[in-house]
Amino acid sequence: MIPESLARLVEETRGQRRAEWAGREVWLANEAWGQLAVSLQGAQVLHYLPAPEAASAAGAAPAGDPAANDMLSDGWLWVTPTPQALPGAIRGGIPLCWPWFADENTADESTDRSGPMHGPARKAPWRLDAVDEHEEGVELHLSPEERLHGQLVPRAVIQANARRLHVELITEHVGETPVKITGALHSYLAVADAFACRVEGLTGATYLDKLADFAERDQQGELGVRGALDRIYRSNAELCLDDGTRRLRIARQGSDSAVVWHPGEAPPGDTSIEAARHFLCVESANTRLDPVWLVPGAQHLLGTTLSREESATP
């Protein structure tokens, strides 16, 4: 579910190209396997839509499955219809939160801790280093145009085909002293109605409730979304988002924290209450529950994989 102006750019694309949207350079693909849009501000995936025919041929779902067709109609990601002007960040898609999550600047405790919310990566310009085409899809490699940290170097890998979208945020330590990092792939998933959603796979997991001063609680039953929500779950389980019309599988790599967030009836200033009802954030993250210590020469991979749940065979 993306703004009409961006959807039009994607639809007008044949193959691959670069274009400008909302003052940013974006990379677009509209091919036999499906559609992809990536902003070079923040290496941020804005749109992913597998082609129904390609998805069916790949065995993802029966061609006549109504739920599958609904899911494929608007894309799997949500982007605000009123994005901020530069140098602000775009709300939606999959922002990269690096090298810290939220306002917890843990990346270098010896320096100023007043950095931007979610770190500098999501607003920084990134370069497209390589586009590898495969028979079934595409793989992008991106890196920041400028150094974002004294000892750490990030890079992003985005893989898209008719079956799944996979995003990796890889951090390499090129310095001389250990560094603690947090971060997230802050996925805004498109839903019919956020307050009718259920997130499966978290039953029994412990979580921190950020709306209750980080009180620690246990999840009783499956998570139903009925209003404002901001929770950090201690879990590395595969999750499933069910909004009543679609079921989306969310697998995570290098993450023992699952963040589930929705602002309820008080959305941020860059989107309306009505528009906000059509997303739910379910994030692959490293948080205060599972910060990552990197030693010189080490790497860490934080990943998320979105795929449609395959229909059961009758």
Q: So where are the chain's domains?
A: 90-308
Question: Is the pLDDT confidence value at 98 over 80?
Answer: yes
Which parts of 235-291 are beta strand (E)? 239-242, 247-253, 257-262, 279-286
Phi, psi of 9 (to 5 degrees): -60, -45
Residue 144: beta bridge partners?
Answer: 126
pLDDT at residue 62, rounded to an integer? 45
On the question of pLDDT at 57 being above 90, the answer is no
Residue 29 has pLDDT above 60, yes or no: yes
Q: Report CA-CA distances (Å) from 75 to 1, 5, 45, 179, 209.
A: 6, 14, 12, 37, 30
Maximum alpha-carbon separation in the chain: 59
Q: How is residue 214 written in tokens?
A: 């980080």
User: pLDDT exceeding 70 applies to what percent of the chain?
Assistant: 88
Coil, strand or helix at 8: helix
Q: Summarize the confidence of residues 141-159 as an average pLDDT.
A: 97
The partner residues of 157 in beta bridges, in order of sequence, read 141, 168
Query: Would the pLDDT of 59 be above 80?
Result: no
- Residue 111 has what pLDDT? 42
Report the SS3 class of residue 290.
coil
* pLDDT confidence band for 70 (50 / 70 / 90): very low
CB 131 within 8 A of CB 224: no
Residue 134: the pLDDT is 80
Burial of 308 (0-12, 13-18, 19+ CB in 10 A): buried
**pLDDT band at 64, cuts 50/70/90?**
very low
Q: Is the pLDDT of residue 9 over 70?
A: yes
pLDDT (average), residues 7-28 = 96
pLDDT confidence of 103, banded at 50, 70, 90?
Answer: confident
In this predicted structure, which of 45-59, 84-98, 183-197 has the lowest mean pLDDT? 45-59
Give dist(CA 233, CA 218) in Å, integer: 9
pLDDT (tens digit per residue) in 34-49:
999 999 999 999 999 9
Question: Residue 120: CB partners within 8 Å, gap ≥ 6?
Answer: 98, 148
Three-state secondary structure readout of 179-217: EEECEEECCEEECCCHHHCEEECCCCCEEEEHHHCCEEE
State which fold the 90-308 domain adopts: Beta-galactosidase; Chain A, domain 5 (2.70.98)
